[in-house]
Structure 1
Amino acid sequence: MNKKKEYSLFDDVCSFVDEAAKYLNIHPGLLDQIKACNSIYKFNFPLRNEDGTYEVITGYRIQHSQHKLPAKGGIRYSSFVDEEEVKGLAALMTYKCALVNVPFGGAKGGVSIDPLKYNVNQLEKITRRYTAELIKKKFIGPAIDVPAPDYGTGAREMAWIVDTFEAFNPEVINAKGCVTGKPLSQHGIDGRTEATGQGVFFGIREAVGVEEDMDALGLKPGLKGKTVIVQGLGNVGYYSAKYISEAGAKVIGVAEWNGGIWDEKGIDIEALKKYQNENKGFKGYPKGEFVKNSMELLTYPCDILIPAALENQITLDNADKIQAKIIGEAANGPVTQEAEKVLLEKGVMIIPDMYLNAGGVTVSYFEWLKNLSRVSFGKLEKRYDMEKYRKLLGTIENATGEEFTDMEKDELIKGASERDLVLSGLEETMVTAYHDMNRVRKEKNIFSLRTAGFILALDRIAISYMDLGVFP
């Protein structure tokens, strides 16, 4: 009897690329090059524990595409990390960057550990050694490969990485640009923490704002009044739920690995997040119904389902039970290819991960640019703009004989902060990319936004190779 083939995110991504290639005239050799991983680095190193014992830690860094440099992609700490997962995530980064027109190649990294089982000192040792291994093989650097946070990592780990890189490379003036997602004190950027969740909000807002598309789903345009279920209340899920709630949608379900909450009256996201932080879960939360098997929440009725946890969450096992009309893939690869076919046949709109969670890499791009320019956004022009607006208000007051209040003046003349500029740039990127993708979908007369996104990304990558003269 043949052994059932294990799920491969990388194979799934390649299948999506093959589907998109049917709509383009791409040389077969070029298509093979685009799909292949350029560089795969797997390594092992020892960790000495405080009791004197040792264990061997396995790390990965995979550069899927170097058609543009540096390569870009997060580092995740998870016991599920393996080569196939990292390859798939690296490939997704390539197409994600191309889709939203961020000039990076795709990469991804990972360490095969459960970070909850290690203390801070151990995690620091692991992170610094992981970084040293990347430095030895030139798999990190502001012009080569720029990591970022991912599942199981955050600003703390990025601070350890940049400190280690600078120690090994004291002569590199742009060393701060070797990693993004850093703390503000280490030349990070204001707005990076919530960037992915904010991007998810912008993307879903644009999708539900197209009246023609909402009519086809039997929904009214706009977020107001729409019911939402979110899987995962980590960084991405929390900010996605927060901004969508503030825009008028009603979050009625939140699923986490150790249980979920269901409340048709609506969930106060801030209160639930506070309770989760204090109690390490939702059990005992005084409002709504606790759902022990949180995976069941994915199949509850709602307008919009936002999987914001891990990949491979909606499969053939539960796809036919999904009742949502729109799925916003905030996580990487939460819907398998087989499940997507079932959902599309049911008329479900899937806003693909390669677009929807691109907020993180978009703001990472801004942070990288900030590090290379060595000046904060808005620092040069803010006071100039404020003085210009102050003079304009004075002219208006003289012409009308009316005076603005001090509060009105303060609001009208304030210059844009770094955060204001970052969020403005993120919004512009997400809005433009969605409508480009939706335009391709309609031009090609296809229902799948994912296929449209891959068509757009694949075409841009192919043009990059052809402009280099590598392929005809």
Structure 2
Amino acid sequence: MSEYSFFGAVEKSFDKAAKFTKWDPGILEQIKQCNAVYRMHFPVKIGDKIEVVKAYRVQHSHHKLPCKGGIRFAMSVNLDEVMALAALMTYKCAIVNVPFAGAKGGITIDPKKYTPYELEKITRRYTSELIKKNFIGPGIDVPAPDYGTGEREMAWIVDTYQSMRPGEIDALGCVTGKPVTQGGVRGRREATGLGVFYGLREVCNMKDVMEKLGMTTGVAGKKVVVQGLGNVGYHSAKFFQEAGSKVVALAEFEGAIYNNDGLDIDAVFEHRKKTGSILNFPGATNFAKNTDALEFECDILIPAALENVINGENAPRVKAKVIGEAANGPLTPEADEILAKKGALVVPDMYLNAGGVTVSYFEWLKNLSHVRYGRMEKRFTENLNSHIIGQIEGLTGKKVAENEKEFIMHGPEEVDLVRSGLEETMITATREIMDAWKSNPEIPDMRTAAYVVAINKVGTSYAELGIFP
């Protein structure tokens, strides 16, 4: 068996969708290829030794600028993975109408093996390498956190950039996912998980789609299984639980647990913090192995961990009717075909987990406008709503209930506006993909429909802008 190529799988999905579009083959080839690949090696002094670190930054497309994509710190980082994730970012941004092109970065290290000071040195050196080659900047290429990185690393990146580009007024926009105190945006942390919830909720609210699957509409009462209790998995599970779904099983790398009456996400999270494992959670049963959770009886399965966890081998045993790809590439193309034959609906990663980049876009806009969301309108809205309630109470002689009054009067905070923007983005994207799917009965699945939407948007850019020179 030939070695699995993640970029090859992305190309395969692209080709599958390209035949449902009307673009010139040259345009399609240009959209598919990675425009710029930067592979670097740099020395960093760790203790009294010098280590040579291998790192990457790939800009997949330049049909819009800046490019956008996270930076991974993991031993598994390689060129194939970074190219695939950069390509997915191009299509993801197009689908959710975020005016960026795709990029991705990675450093091949195990972050657990370094002290915070050593990680800071590696991050700053990587940033300086990007600056030297003009591979970072608010109008050029804007990184973000990914697997193995977070707010801390983004703060080091922005500080390095500002040090090397003194006086650049929009410098804060050179990276997103920063701490709120350093130009970050409220609502960024839960954005990807919340986006997964909004996308799947919209699918579940579509009567015709649910009838085909033999399910009722809405997410309330649905049985959900989540694999991965990281940031995305935790928040996805939490928002489903709050909406009245039952999270019946959870899986992590150390094992998996289930309870048919539902698990309390926060309690499991606390248990894991205390014991270092989700196993032996009171009231839950342990699975024999962590991958068994993927095959558990449920309505919605959310793989929110790493690539290719559902493949040709285990896909026939997956019982969920809806599979929501919260992770990047959790299904192989073989799994896709098996699940489609079984009549299951796979909601694809390239748009479903776009909550992160959508809110990154809001953060970037905030950095360019130099003002917090809600600062200008919050009090105005509260004063206006308060006046309207006063008028209604005066004219009717009746009082509005206190909790209703509070709800109506509330002026939007930054987090309210960010979540509202994310909800609008995910609902619009879901409907666009479903419309494309319905408009052509030949399109086999939702992933192909999502690619068709993405290819058409990127193709339109090339067609309208022309080919230089």
Q: TM-score under structure 2 normalisation?
A: 0.97
Aligned match for 1:21, one of 13, 18, 33: 18
Return closer, same or farther for 1:409/1:252 CA change in 2, 3 Å cut-off. Answer: closer
Match of 1:451 in 2: 448
Q: Secondary structure at the match of 2:39?
A: strand
Q: Which residue identity is paired with 1:364?
A: S
Q: Is the 8 A contact 1:258 1:292 kept in 2?
A: no
Look up the match of 2:131. 135
| C-alpha distance in structure 2 between counterparts of 1:409 and 1:345, whole Å | 51
Query: Is structure 2 residue 394 aligned with structure 1 residue 398?
Result: yes
Residues 41-84 of structure 1 deviation map (CA, whole Å, 9 limit, x = unaligned): 1111223222x123221111000011000000011111110000
Aligned pair partner of 2:295 in 299, 303, 325: 299
Which residue matches 2:272?
Answer: 276
CA distance in 1, matches of 2:300, 2:403: 39
SS state of the match for residue 434, structure 2? helix
Instruction: State the AA in 2 paired with 1:238.
Output: Y
Aligned to 1:121: 117
2:321 to 302, 321, 325: 325
Contact preservation (8 Å) 1:86, 1:109: yes
The structural deviation recorded for 1:173 is 0.4
CA distances 1:235-280 after superposition (whole Å, capped 9, x unpaired): 0000000000111111111111111112112111000111112222
Letter in 1 for 2:450: G
**Please, what is the CA RMSD of the aligned residues?**
1.4
Which residue is equivalent to 1:361?
357
Report the CA distance shift for 1:447/1:28 in structure 2 as closer, same or farther (over 3 A).
closer
Q: 2:375 aligns with which of 376, 379, 402?
A: 379
* Residue 47 (str. 1) matches residue 51 (str. 2): no
For residue 412 of structure 1, report the CA deviation from its aligned partner. 2.2
Corresponding residue SS for 2:302: strand
SS at match of 1:394: helix
> Quick one: which amino acid aligns to residue 324 of structure 1?
A
Using the TM superposition, give the Cα deviation of residue 386 of structure 1 relative to its aligned residue in structure 2, in angstroms.
Answer: 1.4
* C-alpha distance in 2 between matches for 1:99 and 1:195: 17
| 2:157 corresponding residue in structure 1 | 161
Please give the alpha-carbon distance, in whole angstroms, between the structure 1 residues aligned to 2:402 and 2:314. Answer: 58
Contact 1:259 1:282 in 2 (8 A): yes
SS of equivalent residue, structure 1 residue 230: strand
Stretches of 4+ moved more than 3 A in 1? 403-411
1:37 maps onto 2:26 in alignment: no
1:397-429 per-position Cα deviation (integer Å, ceiling 9, x unaligned): 221122346655443222111110000000000
- 8 Å Cα contact 1:252/1:264 also seen in 2: yes
Q: Deviations over 1:116-163 (max 9, x none)?
A: 222211111111111111111111100000011111111111111111
Match of 2:201 in 1: 205
Matches within 5 A, 1:228-247: 228-247=224-243
Pair 1:339–1:403, CA change in 2 (3 A): closer
In structure 2, the residue matched to 1:196 is 192
Aligned to 2:9: 12
Give the share of equivalent positions with the same residue, in percent. Answer: 53
Q: Kindly tell me the number of residue pairs found equivalent between the two proteins.
A: 468
Match of 1:415 in 2: 411
Distance in 2 (CA, whole Å) between partners of 1:406 and 1:337 is: 54
Distance 2:34 2:85 in 1: 11
Aligned counterparts of 1:95 and 1:405: Cα–Cα separation in 2: 47
Partner of 2:88: 92
Hey, what's the Cα distance between the residues in 2 that align with 1:49 and 1:20? Answer: 47
Deviates more, 1:277-286 or 1:6-15: 277-286
Whole-angstrom CA distance in 1 between matches of 2:196 and 2:447: 15
Shift of residue 35 of structure 1?
A: 0.4
CA displacement at 1:326 relative to structure 2? 0.8
Q: Tell whether the 8 Å contact from 1:64 to 1:107 is kept in structure 2 after alignment.
A: yes
Whether contact under 8 Å (1:70, 1:142) holds in the other structure is: yes
Which segment drifts farther, 395-404 or 453-462? 395-404
Q: Tell me whether 1:342 sits opposite 2:321 in the alignment.
A: no
Number of the residue aligned with 1:310: 306
Q: Deviations along 1:283-314, whole A, 9 cap, x unmatched?
A: 33223112352112111221111000011111
Please, which runs of 5 or more residues in structure 2 have no aligned partner? Answer: none
1:109 aligns with 2:105: yes
What secondary structure is seen at the aligned counterpart in 1 of 2:144? strand
Residues 94-125 of structure 1: CA deviation (Å, up to 9, x unaligned): 00000111100000011111212222111111
TM-score, length basis structure 1: 0.97
Matched residues in 1 for 2:452 and 2:51: separation?
45
CA distance in 1, matches of 2:112, 2:277: 15
The reply on whether 1:435 has 2:424 as its aligned counterpart is no
| The 10-residue stretch of structure 1 (55-64 or 284-293) with the greater mean CA deviation from structure 2 | 284-293
